[in-house]
A and B are shown apart, each in its own frame.
Chain A
Amino acid sequence: MSQLWDFAGGVHPAENKHQSTARPIRTAGIPDHLVLPLQQHIGEPAEAIVTAGDRVLKGQKIADVTNGMGVPVHAPTSGIIENITDLPVPHPSGMNDRCITLRPDGEDQWLPLNPVSDYRKLDRDEVLAIIRDSGLSGMGGAGFPTNIKLRPPRDRKVSTLILNGAECEPYITADDMTMREKAEEVVAGLKVMAWILRPERCVIAIEDNKPEAAEAMRVATEGTQIQLAIIPTKYPSGGEKQLIQILTGMEVPSGGIPADIGVMCQNIGTAVAVSQAVFEGKPLISRIVTVTGEAVREPGNFEVLIGTPIEYLLEKAGLQADKANRLVLGGPMMGYTLKTTAVPVIKTSNCLIAATASELPAPPPEQPCIRCGECAEVCPMELLPQQLFWHSKASEFEKAEHLNLFDCIECGACSYVCPSSIPLVQYYRYAKGEIQVQKAEQLKSDRARERFEARQARLEREQQEKEQRRKDRAKAAAEAQSKKKAEAEKAATEGDATDERASKAALVEQALARKKSKVDATKAETAEPVREKPDIETLEKQLQQAQSKLETMQGMLDDAKTQQADNVDKLERAVAKNHDRVKRAEDALTDARNQQANQTESQSTE
């Protein structure tokens, strides 16, 4: 076995996993309605491409993202689109969002599928397109579109591909059961991803509290180059950054992504979905969900259609409604509570805990921090949780940020051990939120101020130009007048012969003088180099360049946002700057065009 490293901190919460591993994966079946949120992943929400009343087939695309980063949504079964409206979706804030409601017709009729027997014959991009069109996004945490993740920037070669089967959160066994029962599919999906990425090393990491899953994976990977890493059970070993540290000894740079150090992590469920997408042509319409907790009679894992209301799922697991006190979506360490059972299962839902009051009791009231340092002892990111807490509580966000608040992965280990039962993570979330709001406002006001200043400057400039032109004209007119007079006198003395020539020469002179004064005026007015030479073509080119730069920056920003990278604010500033650059270029171009128009105008009038 390959070498393993340790990561700092960590805790050992009670595992509570055996409840849900006692039964094999069951099929939850088809509920009487399915609710499909249009946004189930990071990126742009999809747009419905069906309307109420349409009949759709199982696997049919019903919403897609045409602009920006995102993946489509498919009908999990055949049926009629009932409506497209705002409904409660799984979200920590308990918000509503756009959803398509599908009324199944019970026939479960598939769309004709296009499985690929030998993906190696295809282009890598074609396989990536299949993955995208199958609606795959990460099935572990945040839900990043899989096809985008599988296409790291060209200069970032992925040398280690990690399949994350650590599953360190208590209660959750979805990956465990998937590995036990679908080992072949897991490996097949991993092979496809490895073929796309061509890494030097492929590792499947499993915590040592899942011997059955490890054995299944050992059998399935026999004879392949894929390594199996059995890692010590410690929360949060399944955190991407921690897992990378365990397997490679390397750290993901702050604000960076794993690809920066040549590593990529994928989820077990994602591997299965890739395999199904490629070899069976099936889009992502179902997933494995652990339903557990002491308030359900038959905890276990279910294969659930995406969009299945949680209510229905709990029913299947034998919910004892009178006992249920807290509903957690996700694990007990990082999951969030649900207000209602009306929300649907989405692509990222891996676990549902219906807990009794004694199982997950309310924490005792918060006491003052005694600086015991327990929190720093267990922090896997080696932060100073108590200092972060002090600063967050005192609204000294600057200081909290300086102490690397944004490196906090919100794993909850610190809150888990705090003897004063301070809800530390809650304070960090609050501080992060506040900082982001402040930054956005700052950015907005900066942008508004810059725009205002630019406008002010332009108005002034225009005013000056007008003034200058007026003066020039007056001067030219006066000159012409005096010349005419002189010529008339001259003609009177020299005779008519020279008259014509002289007046022509005077006209030319006049025009030259006018042009010169205009150039001088523009030179004097502005320091901007683009304005020295109001060459429309160059300006157009500049504008184009600025626009394309802005687009790239915007793209980078979107990417960074979805990965929650730390350079978001930097990029945001860059985008703002480029916005202004485009604006300036546009202004310059319009000015130049106006000027040209003026020129021709003034020439034609005289």
Chain B
Amino acid sequence: MAFVQQSSPHAHNARPTSRVMLWVVIAALPGLLAQTLFFGWGNLINVVWCIAVALASEAAILGLRKKPVAFFLKDNTAAVTGLLLGLSLPQFAPLWVSAIAVISAIVVAKQLYGGLGSNPFNPAMVGYALVLISFPVAMTTNWAEPALLWKNAPGFGETLTTIASAKQTAVDAWTMATPLDEYKHKIARHTAEEVLRHPTFGNGIARGWEWVSAAFLAGGLLLLFLRIITWHIPAGFLAGLTIMSLAFGNNADQYAPVSLHLLAGGTMLGAFFIATDPVSAATSHQGKLIYGAGIGILIYLIRTWGNYPDAVAFSVLLMNFAVPFIDHYTPPRTYGHHKARRGITGRNQG
């Protein structure tokens, strides 16, 4: 009789990466739905397009690198990168801009660094930052006016042709800056009350945006519930941002209030879906808290004193830089040791 020879453990109960990624997609659907409801077809088209480009470019580069294409495509990680970009890009971002974002995310930020698991930076955010720097106009003016789908919104076909055409001027009538941008630019000359009268803000915090944020929060809670992510990064992220905006922004006539920071930008999407990308995040619980808090703090700094309206991408990338450093200083204390061993020097201290 010949028996299978195998190393222990013989039982496995892993949720394969492909299934984890599938859950991420599912958890992002409420947010996508809310975006579509409140801002029109733009994001939906973006998402489909970005996923398609992501899969195509992943397949192409895997082929070039002589890796098993089907094996890696099945892990769904490229699809998630495409999805995240589709969700974050402006609704009317031209197809070629999103394509550049996706291709640079997959080809440069992911595969050229060695593929899945080897990329030090969050691929989606590399793509986002790249197009934000390269095409600032396309990236800041193509945000849809909220609540369009049920109020003289451009139809699906119209949206599609707008996105597909290279001419960005066609959409002027339906676009505007994001609430955070709006607030930041107006508050220098107006009071908070005056600024908030702008239609972007509606009657609540930021028309449409608050619902989108709530939907991403719900999806994030689902991921937490499924134990696909742990609470540390989102908690650190939101706490960092909240504490910063409470500390500096208590005067609404000067800085955007905390409610806007949390609900009127990419905060929830960033906290639960983007910063939690395990490959480029810190690893230990303590490290994750620091990593998340760092992103939250940086977002506040960039939004308030920097030149970019939303700062998730830059903050995530900056903290990606810090990950080896954080990991180095936050190893857990192993059972039976007095203290954690930090770094590679100082042997025999455990």
| Cα A429 to Cα B6 with chains together (Å) | 13
Q: Are B3 and A339 in contact (CB under 8 A)?
A: yes
Name the interface residues of A398-438: CB closer than 8 Å to any CB of B: 398-399, 402-404, 407, 410, 412-413, 415-421, 423, 425-426, 429
- Chain A residues positioned under 8 Å from B8 (CB to CB): 330, 332-336, 410, 412, 415, 425
Contact A371 B278 (CB under 8 A): yes
Please judge, given known A-B contacts A407-B336, A419-B16, whether A332 and B11 are in contact too, CB under 8 Å: yes
B334 touches A429 (CB 8 A): no
Would B16 and A372 count as touching, CB distance under 8 A? no
Report whether B9 and A325 are in contact in the complex, using a CB–CB cutoff of 8 Å: no
* A372 nearest in chain B by CB position: B278
B350 adjacent to chain A (CB < 8 Å) = yes
Residue B133 lies at the interface, judged by CB distance under 8 Å to chain A: no
Whole-angstrom CA separation of A386 from B327 in the bound complex = 12
Whether A368 and B117, one on each chain, are in contact in the complex, defined by CB atoms closer than 8 angstroms, is yes
Q: Which of A136-144, A147-155, A251-259, A579-587 contacts B (4 or more CB under 8 A)?
A: A251-259
Minimum CB–CB distance from B271 to chain A (whole Å) comes to: 17
Residues of chain B within 8 A (CB-CB) of A410 are 8
Q: How near does chain A come to B283, taking the closest CB pair, in angstroms?
A: 5
The residue of chain A having its C-beta at the shortest distance from the C-beta of B333 within the complex is: A382
Question: Could you say which residues of chain A place their CB within 8 Å of the CB of B75?
Answer: 367
Interface status of B151 (Cβ within 8 A of chain A): no
**Residue B197 interfacial (CB < 8 Å):** no
B335 touches A370 (CB 8 A): no
For window 1-53 of B, CB contacts with A under 8 Å fall at 1, 3-17, 19-20
A337 located at the interface, meaning its Cβ lies under 8 Å from any Cβ of chain B in the complex: yes
State the main secondary structure of chain B at its contact with A: loop
With A332-B11, A416-B11, A419-B14 given, is the CB distance from A380 to B3 under 8 Å?
no
- B278 touches which of A327, A363, A373, A413 (Cβ 8 Å): A373
A327 in contact with B3 (CB, 8 Å) = yes
Q: Mark A348-365, 1 if CB is under 8 A from B, else 0.
A: 000001010100101111
Q: How far is the CB of A189 from chain B (nearest CB, A)?
A: 29
B66 within 8 A of A: no
If A324-B1, A370-B116, A370-B117 touch, whether A251 touches B12 (CB-CB below 8 Å) is no
CA distance A321 to B1 in the complex (A): 8
B 123-178 contacts with A by CB, 8 A: none
Instruction: Decide: A254 and B337 in contact? CB cutoff 8 A.
Output: yes
Within 8 A of B (CB), among A433-482: none
> B79 within 8 Å of A by Cβ?
no
Q: Bound complex: CA of A355 vs CA of B8, how far in Å?
A: 14
Is there an interface contact between A368 and B116, defined as CB atoms closer than 8 Å? yes
A238 to B331, CA, bound (A): 26
Q: Interface 1/0s, chain A 371-398, versus B by CB < 8 A?
A: 1111011001111101100000000001
CA distance A265 to B115 in the complex (A): 47
State whether B3 touches A429 (Cβ < 8 A): no
Q: Which of A253, A398, A429 has the most chain B CB atoms closer than 10 A to its own CB?
A: A253
Given A371-B281, A403-B341, A419-B15, verify A381-B10 contact (CB < 8 Å).
no
Residues of A within 8 A of B11 (CB): 13-14, 170, 332-333, 360, 416
Q: Which of A241, A328, A380, A418 contacts B14 (CB 8 A)?
A: A418
Do B335 and A407 touch (CB < 8 A)?
yes
**What CA separation (Å) do A326 and B3 show in the bound complex?**
5
- Complex Cα–Cα for A11 and B14 (A): 11
CB neighbours of A425 from chain B (8 A): 7-9
Instruction: Check B4 against A326 for contact (C-beta < 8 Å).
Output: yes
Q: Does A8 count as interface, using CB distance less than 8 angstroms?
A: yes
A370–B344 touching, CB < 8 Å? no
Interface residues of A in 1-39 (CB under 8 A from B): 7-8, 11, 13-14
Residues of B within 8 A of A404 (CB): 334, 337, 341, 350
A170 to B9, CA, bound (A): 11
Confirm or deny: A506 has a beta carbon within 8 angstroms of a beta carbon on chain B: no
B332 touches A382 (CB 8 A): yes
Question: Contact between A332 and B350 (Cβ–Cβ < 8 Å)?
Answer: no
B335-A326 in contact (CB<8A): no
Query: Known contacts A402-B347, A407-B336: does B9 contact A416 (CB below 8 Å)?
Result: yes
Does A512 sit at the interface, judged by CB under 8 A? no
Residues in A with CB closer than 8 Å to B14 are 374, 416-421
Q: Is A116 an interface residue (CB 8 A)?
A: no
Asked whether, in the complex, the Cβ of B10 is within 8 Å of the Cβ of A325, the reply is: no
For residue A511, CB closer than 8 A to chain B, the reply is no
Name which residue of chain B comes closest to A252, CB basis.
B336
* Cα-based distance from A209 to B331 in the complex (angstroms): 34
A584 to B71, CA, bound (A): 63
CA distance A606 to B13 in the complex (A): 90
Q: List, in ascending order, chain A residues with CB within 8 A of B334's CB.
A: 254, 381-383, 404, 407
Instruction: Report how far A420 CA is from B77 CA in the complex, Å.
Output: 12
Within 8 A of A (CB), among B89-129: 115-118
In the bound complex, CA of A418 to CA of B11 (Å): 12
| Neighbouring B residues of A324 by C-beta, 8 Å | 1, 3
From B1, B19, B327, B336, A251 is in contact (CB under 8 Å) with B336
Residues of B within 8 A of A370 (CB): 17, 77, 116-117, 278-279
Specify which chain A residues have a CB less than 8 angstroms from the CB of B230 in the assembled complex.
Answer: 373, 377
Chain A residues with CB under 8 Å of B16's CB are 364, 419-421
Chain A nearest CB, measured from B15 CB (Å): 6
Give, as a whole number of angstroms, the nearest-CB distance from A383 to chain B: 6
Q: Decide: B278 and A415 in contact? CB cutoff 8 A.
A: no
- Closest Cβ–Cβ distance, residue A497 to chain B (whole Å): 81
CB of B284 within 8 A of chain A? yes
Please tell me if A598 contacts chain B, counting CB pairs below 8 Å.
Answer: no
Q: Are A13 and B13 in contact (CB under 8 A)?
A: yes
Q: Are B279 and A384 closer than 8 Å at their CB atoms?
A: no
Q: How far is the CA of A384 from the CA of B117 in the complex (A)?
A: 16
Measured CA separation A386–B283 after assembly (Å) = 9
Task: Write out the residue numbers on chain A whose beta carbons fall within 8 Å of the beta carbon of B5.
Answer: 337, 339
Report the bound CA distance from A355 to B229 in whole Å: 34
Is A384 a contact of B331 with CB atoms below 8 Å? Answer: yes
- Minimum CB–CB distance from B212 to chain A (whole Å) comes to 27
Provide the residues of chain A in CB contact with B283, threshold 8 Å. Answer: 371, 373, 376, 384, 386-387
With both beta carbons as reference points, the residue of chain A lying nearest to B232 in the complex is identified as A373
Residue of B at shortest CB range from A357? Answer: B4
Give the nearest-CB partner of B77 in chain A: A370
Q: Kindly list chain A residues whose C-beta atoms are within 8 Å of the C-beta of B333.
A: 382
Q: Nearest Cβ in chain A — how far from B113, in angstroms?
A: 12
Q: Which of A312-353 contact B (CB under 8 A)?
A: 321, 324-328, 330, 332-341, 353
Contacts of B3 in A (CB 8 A): 324-327, 337-340
Do B278 and A341 touch across chains, with their CB atoms under 8 A apart?
A: no
Interfacial chain A residues near B9, Cβ < 8 Å:
332-334, 412-413, 415-416, 425
Q: Do A369 and B117 form a contact, CB below 8 Å, given A326-B3, A338-B3, A362-B4?
A: yes
Tell me whether A326 and B71 are in contact (CB under 8 A): no
List the A residue with the shortest CB-CB distance to B10.
Answer: A332
CA distance in complex: A420, B17 (Å)? 6
Which A residues touch B6, using CB under 8 A? Answer: 326, 337, 362-363
B344, A371: Cβ atoms closer than 8 Å: no
Best-buried of A8, A367, A384, A416 by chain B (most CB within 10 Å): A367
Contacting residues, chain B, for A321 (C-beta < 8 A):
1
Question: Could you list 30 examples of A-B contacts with CB < 8 Å?
Answer: A11-B13, A252-B335, A252-B336, A254-B337, A321-B1, A330-B8, A333-B8, A333-B9, A333-B11, A353-B10, A362-B6, A363-B6, A363-B12, A364-B16, A367-B75, A368-B116, A370-B77, A370-B117, A374-B14, A377-B230, A381-B335, A384-B332, A387-B283, A404-B334, A412-B8, A415-B12, A417-B14, A419-B16, A419-B19, A421-B16
Q: A254-B336, A376-B283, A387-B283 are in contact. List 20 more A-B contacts (CB 8 A).
A: A251-B335, A256-B336, A335-B10, A337-B10, A341-B1, A360-B10, A362-B4, A363-B6, A367-B116, A370-B77, A371-B283, A372-B278, A398-B344, A404-B341, A416-B13, A416-B14, A419-B16, A420-B117, A425-B7, A425-B8
User: Nearest 4 A-B pairs (CB), nearest first?
Assistant: A412-B9, A368-B117, A254-B336, A426-B7
